[in-house]
Amino acid sequence: MSFSALQQTLDTFFKTNIADTVAGVRVAYDNQESKPKQTDVSGFVRHTVLHDDRNFSALGRRNIRANGNVGIQIFIPKGTGPKQANLIADAVDTAYSGNCIDNVQFFATEETLRQTIGDYYRINLLITFYADQIRS
C-alpha cells in the first residue's frame, strides 16, 4: 500500500466512523488548521497519522509491512466535565480496536494523556497499526 493510499484509507476510515457520526465536533486533519477557534463550543478533534518503519514482511517475497500509529486528540472546553470527551474516546475505541480494513490491522486503543491545556480539557489516544502491501 503506497503512502498516499494508506493515508487516504486512514483518513476515510476516521471520517466515516468518527467525524461523520459524532455530532457538533470539528475535525482537524494532517496539515490543516488545528488550533482552537471561538466557534468550537463543543470542542474539536485532531486526527494525525504517524508513520513508522516499513519492512519486508516475508522471506523470499517483496511484501512490505508498514507500521505506524493513528493519533487522536480530543479537545473539550474546560469546565464542562469529561462526559463529551469520554463519549468521543469510546467511539474511537469501538471503531478501531482490533478492526481490520483494506489490509490495515488496528491494535487496541491506548489512552496516553488526560490534561487541561489552555481553555480545553484534552484526551490523547493512540492506535498502533500495520498495513501489508502484497506484491506479486
| Residues 119 and 36: beta-carbon distance below 8 Å | yes
Question: In which domain, by residue range, is 63 found?
Answer: 3-133
| Residues 18 and 44: beta-carbon distance below 8 Å | no
Higher pLDDT, 65 or 99: 99
Higher pLDDT, 27 or 39: 27
User: Given 3-state DSSP classes, what are the helix, strand and coil percentages for the chain, each rounded to the nearest 5?
Assistant: 25, 45, 35
Mean pLDDT, rounded, for 39-59: 79
For the entire predicted model, the pTM comes to 0.86
| 40 has a pLDDT exceeding 80 | no
- Give the pLDDT band of residue 60 (cuts 50, 70, 90): low
In CATH, what number is assigned to the domain containing residue 36? 3.30.2000.20
- Give the pLDDT band of residue 13 (cuts 50, 70, 90): very high
Q: What is the pLDDT of residue 80?
A: 85
| Residues 49 and 30: beta-carbon distance below 8 Å | yes
Number of domains in the chain: 1
Q: What is the pLDDT of residue 39?
A: 56
Distance CA 38, CA 40 (A): 6
DSSP 16: I
- Give the pLDDT band of residue 20 (cuts 50, 70, 90): confident
How many CA atoms within 13 Å lie on the side-chain side of 84?
A: 20
Distance of CA 14 to the CA centre of its chain: 7
Averaged confidence pLDDT in the chain: 85
Q: Which residues pair with 73 in a beta bridge?
A: 46, 124
Mean pLDDT, rounded, for 20-44: 71
Joined grid coordinates for residue 9: 484509507
SS3 at position 98: coil
Q: Which residues pair with 54 in a beta bridge?
A: 66
Nearest in space to 73 (alpha carbons), one of 23, 25, 106, 37: 25
Instruction: Quote the Cα angle for 117-26-2, to 5°.
Output: 100
| 116 has a pLDDT exceeding 60 | yes
